[in-house]
Amino acid sequence: MVFYGLYYWAELDNLTDLRPRGGCDDPTYPYYFKLRCGNCGEVSAKATCVSLGEVVELGRSTVNLVQKCKLCGREASIVMIPGQGTPLTIEQSQHGDRILLMVFDCRGCEPIDFAFGDGWRAESLDGTTFDIDCSEGEFADYDEKGEYPVGLGKLRPEFRVVKKQERHGKTKYV
């Protein structure tokens, strides 16, 4: 098994705490990405969709996805690991920090080409909540309370191999 961390960054304009609508562990937020087969290297033609709230039985364990490679027939599976993601703040956006959103425990496959979907949320600097569809890659609106424009753009996702670390009784992936 290999752990892949999904990191993200966006340019935030008078917005902060960008995250899926129900928080980073939103059970309904759909993660779209492609799979590269760990056996033959074939990349799936269509994007796969997984969410924390959707599980399937695989033997005696529960996973979020089971998918067979169309070329070699090898079965791959993914288990999502919640509790690791944090919202992207405006300070982190300005520093260019990539923030961990979700960890995927992948067996027999590698996730690539993450695509942002609908179902995001962020607050303006005056606390106004905006629901955001990130599938367009950009967003622009106006905060009536603070009387300034808000927006986001330049969304950047990145899958990175991470290692599991136990520290002070807490599990982290870095």
Interface residues with Zn ion (CB under 5 A) are 37, 39-40, 42, 69, 71-72, 74
Nearer of residues 110 and 143 to Zn ion, judged by Cβ: 110
CA pair distance 112, 119, nearest whole angstrom: 21
Indicate the residue among 2 and 55 with the shorter CB distance to Zn ion.
2
Minimum Å gap between C-beta 3 and Zn ion is 21
| DSSP of 3-71 | EEEEEEEEEEESEEEEEETT-TT-TTPPEEEEEEETTT-PBPSS-EEE-TT--EEETTEEESEEEE-TT
Contact 173, 163 (CB under 8 A): yes
With beta carbons less than 8 A apart as the criterion, state whether 27 and 96 touch: no
Nearer to Zn ion, 42 or 105 (CB): 42
Nearer to Zn ion, 10 or 37 (CB): 37
Q: At closest approach, how far in Å is the CB of 16 from Zn ion?
A: 42
What is the smallest separation between the CB atom of 51 and Zn ion, expressed in angstroms? 24
We find the least distance from the C-beta atom of residue 37 to Zn ion, in angstroms, to be 3
3-state secondary structure 142-156: EECCCCEEEEEEEEE
